Structure 1
Amino acid sequence: MNELLTLTIRQIRDLYAKKALSPSEYWLAVEKQVDAFEPHVKALYLYNPESARAQAAASTERWAKGETLGILDGIPITLKELIATKGEPVPLGTKAVPLVPAAEDAPIAARCREEGAVIFAKTTCPDYGMLSSGLSSFHPLSRNPWDLSQNPGGSSAGSSAAGAASFGPLHIGTDIGGSIRLPAGWTGLFGLKPSNGRIPIDPYYFGRCAGPMTRCVEDAAYSMGPLSRPDWRDATSLPPEEIDWLDLGIDVRGLKIGLMMEAGIGLDVEEEVQAAVLAAARLFEQAGAEIIPVAPVLTRAMLDGLDNFWRARFWGDIATMPEEQSAQILPYIYEWAKGGSEITGAEAVKGFNQTYEMRKACARLFSQVDVVLSPTNPIVSYPAEWASPTNDPTKPFEHIGFTVPWNMSEQPAASINCGFSKSGMPIGMQVVGPRFADMTVMRLCKVFEDWTGGIKAWPEAPSTF
């Protein structure tokens, strides 16, 4: 792999400042990597190398004149397909949506352009972002760069595949039940779901967040200042706050860390995942933190209630579609949603109310501990062609027990690599903090990354597949 592709954002910016590297030169290294790896991983949508070259050339001129726009000037990035970019369609991962150009940039895209970032592509996602998979009726099947027979997770599938394939240092995903953290865990990335409202999004939906997916914690920190600027289009966005996102030092001594090794529902945690997370927890204990085993916050009633609500809501969206349009939805998604036709309004409301039960359970837990560690995913991996780890539309959410509660409780949570399976697949550990303690989560991930050294060798593009 070209050594330029191993650089962090800090290192890239330092070379830009010294005029030892230009944004144009760096982009060409990324473009060559995309040319070699994208035919195998299928991570990108609307990939536009000509536009990227022009953006990089403009950034090169700004760096030469000392007139850069922001901290991300000249940094190649991707945005998840669900994040609107002006003049480009947002198919929502499905053939059922008409390809209508977006009228304006979503907040995240607007902030990245203001910074001078090189937006070179969107990234793939499954139909309506409703799967933890790279399977879509619209996009080609996205695959995991670590093993092309395996799934990159989702719904930020292309973001995770692009990050692990070294298509530049920064990729922005979205998350409503684990869609940043789950794929980050399965591909070895650091993925942050910030406190709800920290990064403004449009359209807003209960529990929905956006966040960075990167190969190291500091690269994510570089993005948080620009991305967290308030935007009036998200009525839930947090007020302006002066945060030094690059101040990542922390002393863990005396910290009460809850260790949650069971999700309470769904798939059992595989032995290799359990061993990796327990080993990670011991590092925190050796550094002076107090490790406290804690019970799950999620119950079957909570997850089934959320499932009922999401099915009913989604069925309400597609029930009035012309048959020829709804027939184009991925069959797995359609079959799952059709179950919503039998859910009454009262049952849907009862299901939604389970989100408040999740929130109460999470608050109760955090009255006893400062942070929580857990597995991100209960299993090591699953086939690329599967729609979910169960591949069963009647049991679509059996793998999100560790991730979904923190969306409903609006708490920051991140996934960071904590080891590898015998098969060579990454294993993710989740770090969860109290509401608005995004920096605590990032600092704990950074100190853990410093202890372990992080991932040094990322996947190489295969010659054939």
Structure 2
Amino acid sequence: MHRQSFKDLRQGYLNLAFSPVDIARSALAHAAQVNEKLNAFSWLDEAGALEAAHASAQRWRSGETLGPLDGMPITVKDSAAVKGWPLRRGSLTTPETPAPHDTPFVARLRAAGAVLLGKTRAPEFNWKGVTDSPGFGITRNPLDPTLTPGGSSGGCAAAVAAGVVRVSIGSDAAGSVRIPAAFTGVLGLKPTRGRIPLVPFPTQFSGLAHLGPLAASADDLADVLDVIAGAAAGDWTSSLGNARPLALRGCEPEKLRVGVVAPDSLGDMDPVVRRGLDDMVARLAEGGIACTTVELDVPGASAAAAKLYRLGCARTIAGLGEDARQQLDPGLTGYVAAAEALDLDAYLQVLAVRDRFAAQLYALYESVDTVLLPTLPILPFEAGRNVPAGWEGDDWLVWNPYTPAFNLVPDPVLNYSVWPANTVLPTGVQFVAPPLEEGRLLALAAWLEARR
């Protein structure tokens, strides 16, 4: 019952075919089943969800609804502050004390009548592209529980891909929304920096961090983004967050010009990933969308972003005492050790790479409306590992050379998942657009969904 689109749920509420209480109970029951198999949730608030659902049901009966999200089940990542819920951030080093306040996007969801079911799993302090932690176990992929759903918003992706919710809100500082979206076959958006306010603002990540939704459809994602976007005190980058409407239905995808990053410039990739990219280019061309090959140094920019990301992770745990550090994921402590080599000169060199990459990307926007490339060069691998079997080392960024580059710039990026013919698992492609052009990406996704 709860797996219907938001549009269909609204129609059912309006016709009194079912109520938000029916949907919340159905989703909560499903969440409990999914959690036993996938470990997707860190917190389920049955009492709070049902209370919100009853209030929504009353509004629907009286014709006084709060908007398109009234009565819609939604989950949020473990790293988000939700009043009354623990803020563990996937770590044993954090207290179980309930958060005293909602972060702005959560407050906006509540005000819109959304039914918050609970929190989804993430690795410790969101540090890696898979989802597991010493204190809270391994999160698994709904498509195949032996595989990882990716991360760090892996719990969000599992909740959406398993059908518990249509939308879950994650975060992305090096691909943490787009990676799990690609590994589980759902949409994942890194919006324009500041479109969804980050409070408290994460200064340690040098502007890499974004909040972003994972969703089952472009329409559902747009409904949520419309509600949670906009400026908020505490995040100076959010001043432009509501400067331009999403215009999901104002864009004509057939008129878009797509620049496809030359595959040979991206290094090795799984043949299925290459087929997925080729299939997408063919699908766009069949719909009359012009595609041209463009040059963009994505691996070089990602390598630079990885240095900033490593430094941000190191600063996140810098204040922990020795006893607390003993409880951390060993992979995290090893990962941040290399940050000691990043001095001021190295930091300034990274910023120079960022500036060159941004200039190169923005020059492309003179001739194309969106840039297309794979999300990842690999397919999902064994759950509980930081890197695929047979790969050297423990640095997860070695298998993720395409997503961090676009955290250097404010531009929105959407993962759209593709299943090439005769394959079991999906692969993802990224569409990149100029700042504040999320509507362009979502309109294209809706256009693709209608033709899938």
What range is the shorter-chain TM-score in? over 0.9
* Correspondent of 2:152 among 141, 155, 161: 155
Q: Which residue identity is paired with 1:413?
A: V
When structure 1 is superposed on structure 2, of 138-147 and 384-393 the one drifting more is 384-393
Alignment of 1:21-420 (within 5 A): 21-205=18-202, 206-237=207-238, 238=240, 240-241=242-243, 243=245, 245-247=247-249, 250-253=252-255, 255-262=256-263, 264=265, 268-300=268-300, 302-389=301-388, 395-420=395-420
1:173-194 alpha-carbon deviations (Å, 9 max, x no partner) = 1111211111111111111111
* 2:431 is the counterpart of 1:431: yes
- Which residue pairs with 1:455 in the alignment? none
Q: TM-score scaled by structure 2?
A: 0.92
Q: Which residue identity is paired with 2:211?
A: A
Query: Equivalents in 2 of 1:67, 1:98: separation in Å?
Result: 39
When structure 1 is superposed on structure 2, of 178-187 and 282-291 the one drifting more is 282-291
Query: Equivalents in 2 of 1:130, 1:421: separation in Å?
Result: 34
Does the 8 A contact of 2:160 with 2:168 survive in 1?
yes
- How many residues are treated as equivalent by the alignment? 446
Q: Percent identity?
A: 27
- Which residue pairs with 1:458 in the alignment? none
CA 1:130/1:392 → structure 2, altered by over 3 Å: closer, same or farther?
Answer: farther
SS at match of 1:385: coil
How far the C-alpha of 1:260 sits from its partner, in A, is: 1.9
CA 1:31/1:261 → structure 2, altered by over 3 Å: closer, same or farther?
Answer: farther
> What is the CA RMSD across the aligned residues, in angstroms?
2.2
1:182-231 alpha-carbon deviations (Å, 9 max, x no partner) = 11111111111111111112133412211221111111011111111321
Query: Equivalents in 2 of 1:329, 1:99: separation in Å?
Result: 16
When structure 1 is superposed on structure 2, of 410-419 and 353-362 the one drifting more is 353-362
Q: TM-score scaled by structure 1?
A: 0.90
Query: Equivalents in 2 of 1:57, 1:51: separation in Å?
Result: 10
Query: Equivalents in 2 of 1:263, 1:118: separation in Å?
Result: 46
How far the C-alpha of 1:244 sits from its partner, in A, is: 5.7
How far the C-alpha of 1:317 sits from its partner, in A, is: 4.3
Query: Equivalents in 2 of 1:67, 1:202: separation in Å?
Result: 30
Query: Equivalents in 2 of 1:411, 1:42: separation in Å?
Result: 32
Query: Equivalents in 1 of 2:75, 2:250: separation in Å?
Result: 24
CA 1:346/1:100 → structure 2, altered by over 3 Å: closer, same or farther?
Answer: farther
Gaps of 5+ in 1: 453-465
Gaps of 5+ in 2: none
Does the 8 A contact of 1:259 with 1:374 survive in 2?
yes
SS at match of 2:439: helix
1:40-80 alpha-carbon deviations (Å, 9 max, x no partner) = 11111111222212211111111111122222111110011
SS at match of 1:373: strand
Query: Equivalents in 2 of 1:312, 1:432: separation in Å?
Result: 25
- Which residue pairs with 1:463 in the alignment? none
